[in-house]
Amino acid sequence: MKKQILVNSFCLLLAACGFTPMLQKNADAPDESGSRLVVESASKDGTSYTIQMLRQRLKSVLSGVNLDSRYKTYVRISEATGSLAYATDATSTRSMIRLTAQIIISCDGQTLHETSLNSVTSYSQNTNDEFVNQSAVQGAQERLIEAMTIDISREIQRFVKTNQAKP
């Protein structure tokens, strides 16, 4: 009972001093570059591993880009998987993952730049070894996330160089 009273009084004390939880999400808050960056899934699955990792990597990569806070950058990601028409035997085949990013940069509600980027990778699949399959899928996802991060950051940096002074 004493512990609960102590915890409740501590929480009230923190609330009184204007404490804001670190994990609170504020979608309109500018990121480190000053602009607002929104990375979302086309399938509305914003909690997927690929989306979360792209968000984190783009925020760190774009932290040095000096984009005005009036700009909003939307990156919409769609992910597709499939098998390739290639099999070495009955137990081994190849699969692929494709990431497509639609990038929209807007300012004051007006779209200034819109483009689409694609990245594809393939990986081996072995029906006899599930662990190898999971490792192969994870490696393919990591390669795609890294490639897509580089492509998106280049596109945004190119926009900044050519269009920063226009609005």
pLDDT tens track for 156-165: 888 888 875 5
Residue 100: what pLDDT? 92
- For 134-163, write each residue's pLDDT tens digit: 888 888 899 999 999 999 999 988 888 887
Q: What is the mean pLDDT of residues 63-67?
A: 72
Tokens in use for 24?
């609170």
- Which tokens belong to 109? 């509600």
* pLDDT classification of 6: cutoffs 50, 70, 90: low
More confident residue, 89 or 117: 117
Note every long-range contact of 53-58, with CB atoms under 8 Å and residues 24 or more positions apart, other chains counting: 53/145, 54/145, 54/148, 54/149, 54/152, 57/145, 57/146, 57/149, 58/149, 58/152, 58/153
Packing angle of the helix pair 130-163, 49-61 (nearest 10 deg): 40
Tell me the average pLDDT of the chain.
76
CATH topology of domain 28-163: Double Stranded RNA Binding Domain (3.30.160)
The average pLDDT across 115-132 equals 83
The answer on pLDDT for 69 being more than 90 is no
Domain boundaries, the chain: 28-163
pLDDT score for 24: 38
Q: What is the pLDDT of residue 128?
A: 77
**Contact partners, residue 15, CB within 8 Å, separation at least 6:** none
User: 30 pLDDT band (50/70/90 cuts)?
Assistant: very low
pLDDT for position 131: 74
How far apart CA 106 and CA 74 sit, in angstroms, is: 8
The pLDDT, as a whole number, for residue 142 is 92
> What are phi and psi for residue 145, nearest 5 degrees?
-60, -45
Looking at residue 86, its pLDDT comes to: 63
pLDDT at 35: 56
User: What's the CA gap between 55 and 3, in Å, rounded?
Assistant: 39
Per-residue pLDDT tens over the stretch 82-104? 887 666 666 677 888 899 999 99
Q: Which residue has the tokens 């597709």?
A: 80
